[in-house]
Amino acid sequence: MTDTSGRVTACLPIRSDMDLAWVRQHVRQAAAQLGFGLVDQTKLVTAASELARNTLVHGGGGQVESTVLETGAARGLRLAFSDQGPGIPDIERALGDGYTSGGGLGLGLGGARRLVHEFSIDSRPGEGTAVTVICWTAGAPRPREESR
């Protein structure tokens, strides 16, 4: 997908509602430091909030690893959410709008995908789910990649 030479800046646990607030704050700070505009900051923080809540509510808790990426002039932030929960049986359906298993609006996963530049999901029933998103600072326009 992209180079993996970035340095991991933080690995935060996602175990409670308080942790969600902490994740949001961390992502906001990291994005601001990388020079993200206000709109991109807000988008990334919102995507992180959705995915972190998924990790907590559906995955039964897990963690997020944030990594700063640098390829040439572009700088980005990669967030890797992972849990050891029940996994997602039908990823295509889960990515579609309006599908929910937890009483929410069913916009979390699909919405988060629309808010970031790169999105990948790996889920095995019974083993857990890993969602990785990348947001790049505005600069060289990149083709949007959507890989599974």
Binding to other proteins (CB under 8 A): which residues in 2-41? Answer: 17, 20-21, 24, 28, 38-39, 41
Closer residue to other proteins (CB): 43 or 78 = 43
Binding to other proteins (CB under 8 A): which residues in 85-114? Answer: 97, 104-105, 107-108, 110-112, 114
Give the integer Cα–Cα distance in Å for 14 and 4: 23
Show the tokens assigned to 52.
């972190």
Indicate if the alpha-carbon torsion angle 120, 62, 11, 51 is positive or negative.
Answer: positive
Residues 80, 9 contacting (CB under 8 angstroms): no
Which residues bind to other proteins, rule: CB under 8 A?
17, 20-21, 24, 28, 38-39, 41-43, 45-46, 49-50, 53, 97, 104-105, 107-108, 110-112, 114-115
